[in-house]
């Protein structure tokens, strides 16, 4: 057994099963929405070029699914720590500094998401009276995707904060993330 195998047998993070199931659910919903987008657009192309009569509703369905896909995907990307990040400070501080920066970043993300959610909730409620032209879906469903995505991102951020505070160490990320990351180093004299 190698040293890497022994390190992988560490105690799991608190709420790891909840996060795993949330991410799987979000990924499943995102995959289903992507399937709807692709099948709707394929049907639209077929109807336009074979029958010469495109559907009036297909573009709206695809757009609605794309909006929901975007915000649901942002949530599981947040949970996996795969959002774009600029790492200029934490690479220059010690372990305690990295831990403090990570906790602070989770607080900022959760706070920003919740503030945007609270601020946008009134708007989402207000536009619920208006329906979309082709399929008649209330606009609150369109704008509600942002609210759901913000809520999920805030939940993931707060869970990450809880995990970091409970364990006292940063959340371990997959090695592929670090290898694929674009790392810019400042040259001496700049």
Q: How far apart are CA 179 and CA 94, in angstroms?
A: 21
Each residue's pLDDT, cut to its tens digit, for the chain (190 residues) gives 444 444 446 778 889 899 999 999 999 999 999 999 999 999 999 999 999 988 989 999 999 999 999 999 999 999 988 888 777 887 788 889 889 999 999 999 999 999 999 999 988 988 888 888 889 899 999 999 999 999 999 999 999 999 999 988 888 766 444 444 455 554 445 5
Residue 50 confidence (pLDDT): 92
Residue 93 confidence (pLDDT): 87
Residue 175 confidence (pLDDT): 46
Q: How far apart are CA 154 and CA 175, in angstroms?
A: 25
Contacts of 48 (CB under 8 A, 6+ apart): 54
Q: Domain spans of the chain? A: 14-85+92-173
Percent helix / strand / coil, the chain, rounded to 5: 70, 0, 25
Residue 9 confidence (pLDDT): 60
Q: How far apart are CA 107 and CA 113, in angstroms?
A: 10
Q: How far apart are CA 38 and CA 32, in angstroms?
A: 10
At how many degrees (to 10) do helices 139-167 and 95-126 cross? 160
């Amino acid at each position: 057994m190698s040293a890497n195998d022994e390190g992988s047998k560490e105690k799991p993070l608190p709420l790891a099963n909840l996060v795993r199931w949330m991410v799987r659910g979000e990924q499943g919903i995102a995959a289903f929405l992507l399937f709807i987008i692709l099948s709707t657009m394929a049907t639209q192309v077929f109807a336009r070029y074979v029958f010469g009569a495109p559907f009036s509703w297909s573009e709206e369905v695809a757009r609605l699914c794309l909006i929901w896909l975007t915000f649901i995907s942002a949530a599981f990307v947040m949970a996996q720590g795969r959002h774009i990040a600029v790492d200029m400070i934490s690479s220059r501080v010690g372990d305690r500094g990295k831990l403090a920066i990570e906790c602070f970043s989770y607080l900022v993300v959760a706070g920003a998401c919740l503030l945007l959610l609270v601020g946008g909730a009134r708007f989402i409620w207000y536009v619920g009276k208006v329906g979309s032209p082709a399929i008649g879906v209330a606009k609150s469903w369109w704008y509600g995707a942002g609210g759901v995505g913000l809520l999920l991102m805030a939940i993931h951020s707060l869970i990450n904060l809880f995990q970091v505070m409970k364990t006292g160490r940063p959340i371990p990320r997959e090695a592929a993330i670090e290898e694929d990351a674009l790392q810019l180093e400042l040259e001496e004299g700049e």
